[in-house]
Amino acid sequence: MDEDLQPSHVDRLAIAKQRMIRYDLQGRDIRDPMVLKAMARVPRELFVPAEYYACAYDDRPLPIGLDQTISQPYIVALMTQVLQVDSNCTVLEIGTGSGYQTAILACLAQEVFTIERLEALAKRARSSLGQLDLDNIRLIVADGSLGWPGPIQFDRIMVTAGVQQIPGPLLEQLRTDGLLVAPVGTSSLQTLTLVRKRPYGITSQAICPVRFVKLIGRHGFQD
């Protein structure tokens, strides 16, 4: 083919993103138009290491260094959809990782508070997020199993690393009638679980089996 007629690198990514939206998200059970819009808006290639640009829209997790991963697009969309985030919500995210999920949440929420344990990942996530037109994100480096420092509560909480049980401080920081989503199980296999805080206690709903890296911290797994 004439070189001028070959799709450019940018075109190839745009085509791959459209394919992801259509087949990997809409083709499964992602129906929320706001979630689909956010997934279309955020460039995943910005959040993956350069050697993975070409497969940025493959529906799989990819390595981001330090034995951590950027989550699979379908799971990012699913977790966002079940959390029912809207522009009135303040959201706490535990496990910033690459910052990709943070960006998706920030497209939908009033404000996103995100905590990453590893300084090097937080630094890279800050730089990637800084390239987007989003000014509603607060990112700190800390043990997220302890929650956000200080007396604050959130409408929604998303945990993006596996836990054996929901850390108590996170349940305390969830507002009554708020929603929390987390992978709950062992270090190698978890069930994506949606928790609702009611005035009389907690209800939880199993969504699907998932495999996440461990949440390491005081109320998580040991290092």
Which residues would be at the binding site for ligand SAM (CB under 6 A)? 68-71, 94-95, 97-98, 100-101, 115-118, 121, 143-145, 160-161, 212-213, 215-217, 220
Q: Residue 94 forms beta bridges with which residues?
A: 115, 159
Q: Is 71 a catalytic residue?
A: yes
CB 188 within 8 A of CB 164: no
CB of 67 to ligand SAM, least distance (A): 8
Instruction: Give the integer Cα–Cα distance in Å for 153 and 140.
Output: 16
CA angle 13, 17, 22 (to 5 degrees): 150
Q: Which residues pair with 218 in a beta bridge?
A: none
Least Å from the CB of residue 198 to ligand SAM: 26
Cβ-based nearer residue to ligand SAM, 97 or 178: 97
Closer by beta carbon to ligand SAM, 39 or else 179: 39
Question: What type of residue is 176?
Answer: T
User: Residues 71, 98, 128, 145: which is the catalytic one?
Assistant: 71
Structure tokens at 61: 């997790």
Contact 130, 103 (CB under 8 A): no
Q: Which is nearer to ligand SAM, 93 or 155 (CB)?
A: 93
Based on CB atoms, which residue is closest to ligand SAM, 14 or 216? Answer: 216
Instruction: Say which amino acid occupies 71.
Output: S
Least distance CB 218 / ligand SAM (angstroms): 8
**Catalytic residue ranges:** 71
